[in-house]
Amino acid sequence: MDLYFLGTGAGMPSKQRNVTSIALNLLEERGTYWLFDCGEGTQQQILNSPVKLGRTEMIFITHLHGDHLYGLPGLLTSRSYLGGDTPLTLYGPQGLKRFVDTALEVSGAHLTYALQIVEILEEGIIFEDDSFQVETARLEHRIECFGFRIIEKDQPGKLMQDKLKELGVPAGPIYGKLKQGQTVQLEDGRTLHGMDYLGAPIPGRIIVILGDTRYCNGAQQLARGADILVHEATFAMDKQELAYSFDHATSHDAARIAREAGANVLIMTHISSRYQGDAVSELLHEAQQVHMNSYIAKDFWSFELPRKV
CA nearest to 214, candidates 293, 126, 281, 147: 147
Q: Is there a domain that residue 213 lies in?
A: yes
pLDDT in tens, 241-254: 999 999 999 999 99
Query: Where in the sequence is the domain holding 188, given as residue range(s)?
Result: 161-197
Q: Where are the alpha helices (DSSP H) in the chain?
A: 27-30, 42-47, 72-81, 96-107, 161-166, 173-179, 217-223, 240-245, 251-261, 279-288
Same domain, 115 and 182: no
User: Per the domain annotation, does 309 fall within a domain?
Assistant: no
Residue 116 has what pLDDT?
Answer: 98
Q: Is residue 89 part of a domain?
A: yes
**Do 262 and 184 reside in the same domain of the chain?**
no
pLDDT tens for residues 274-291?
998 889 999 999 999 999
285 is in an annotated binding site: no
Q: Is 291 annotated as a binding residue?
A: no
pLDDT in tens, 1-59: 999 999 999 999 999 999 999 999 999 999 999 999 999 999 999 999 999 999 999 99
Catalytic center residues: 67
The whole-angstrom separation of Cα 231 and Cα 145 is 13
Helix/strand/coil percentages in the chain, nearest 5: 30, 30, 40
Is 231 marked within a binding site?
A: no
Is the same domain home to 148 and 187?
A: no
